[in-house]
Amino acid sequence: MNSMNAQLQEVRAALGQLYAGWGADTTIEQIRRDWNAFFAEPRPPATVTAVDADGVPAFWIEAPGATREAVILFLHGGGYQIGSHISHHNLMARLSAHSGCAVLGVDYRLAPEHRQPAALEDAATAYAWLCAQGLAPGRIALCGDSAGGALAVLLMTQLRNASQALPRAAALMSPWVDLQAGGASYEANAATDPVTQRATILRMARTYLGRSGQPEAPEVSPLHAALDGLPPLLIQAGRAEVPLDDAHALAERANAAGVQTRLSLWDDMPHAFQLFTGRLEAADAAIDEAARYLSQALGGVPHRHYE
């Protein structure tokens, strides 16, 4: 057995143990606590500083030597219901270390307590706050995984529609952009993705949207949004993940709209595999790829490889 297969088996077993502890009576608060704890280790060194971004909780995640002269605004995944700067600390810390940039993680409001458009409103507020600190939009890049990747796209389309300055570039990690989960990969990859399944994704979509929400609306589903005028995009996805077709569709639509787009596919990787940095070598490599892409887009911030 090669090292990658062994790592994937360890991840699959750990996820199975985590999910086995959840039942019909498990509260969303408990799931959030468990999710945070599950991704707590390994923990790369980084300074964590809480800030109030005009009412939105946000956290500077800064690896040693990182600069705030160029910033990556990070929007975490978790189906709009779980996830935080705690669960995503490792990803953000490595992204900061690899890019040389400070990362600002946004703890946007979550469903079911706060349904759409709360998450997008908070992302927009955090972006405006960051610009108000004196940082030019051309020195800001976006990054997000899963639902956070979708939020990044929605934020950019909202800024474009309002004729506001856009960030320089975005890296989207396993973006979940189809709230109807219509791609063939939702069934074809069901046996190879230990992270999520179509039924789970549809349940999260319903919880996020509420009874009156429309999953095909462009303001909630980037698959149906106009993408023209967006900055360059790096889209990463695992070939084994359930929402793989979301990444393909987004890349195809972005290219058709004239957006400079790079689609990066990773063999055998499940959904949002970058979260497993320190456990999967491919996750480390994908974060390094995203960091290089964003630092170059931001004007050549010195690249630092985290060991």
Residue 20 has pLDDT above 50, yes or no: yes
CA atoms within 13 A of residue 69's CA, in its CB half-sphere: 9
Write out pLDDT tens, residues 146-155. Answer: 999 999 999 9
Please compute the mean of the pLDDT values over residues 5-31 and round it to a whole number: 96
Q: What is the pLDDT of residues 63-82, one digit of tens each?
A: 999 999 999 999 999 999 99
pTM over 0.85: yes
Active site residue 174: no
pLDDT at res. 211: 86
**Can you list the domains of the chain with their CATH numbers?**
38-297 (3.40.50.1820)
Q: Quick one: pLDDT at residue 42?
A: 85
Mean pLDDT over residues 22-47, rounded? 95
**Among 96, 99, 241, 295, which one carries the catalytic annotation?**
241
Work out the pLDDT band at 306, boundaries 50, 70, 90. very low
| Residue among 146, 185, 221, 295 flagged as catalytic | 146
The SS3 of residue 106 is strand
* Rounded CA separation 117/166 (Å): 20
Contact 140, 127 (CB under 8 A): yes
Per-residue exposure over 263-287, b if at least 16 CB sit within 10 Å of its own CB, e if not: bbebebbbbbbbbbbbbbebbbebb
241 included as an active-site residue = yes
**What pLDDT, on the 0 to 100 scale, is given for residue 9?**
96
Burial (0-12, 13-18, 19+ Cβ within 10 Å), 26: exposed
Q: Is the pLDDT of residue 301 over 70?
A: no
CA distances, 203 to each of 20, 146, 188, 208, 267 (Å): 18, 15, 19, 9, 27
Instruction: Please identify which of the residues 96, 271, 289, 295 carries the catalytic annotation.
Output: 271
Region 204-227: what's the mean pLDDT?
A: 94
- pLDDT for residue 212: 85
**Residue 99 designated active-site:** no
Tell me what pLDDT residue 302 has. 52
pLDDT tier for residue 3 given thresholds of 50, 70 and 90: confident
307 pLDDT above the threshold of 50: no
pLDDT of 303 above 60: no
- Residues 96-133 pLDDT 10s: 999 999 999 999 999 999 999 999 999 999 999 999 99
Q: pLDDT digit string (tens) for 156-207?
A: 999 999 999 999 999 999 999 999 999 999 999 999 999 999 999 999 999 9
Containing 261, the helix (H) or strand (E) segment is: strand 261-266
Q: What percent of the chain has pLDDT over 70?
A: 97
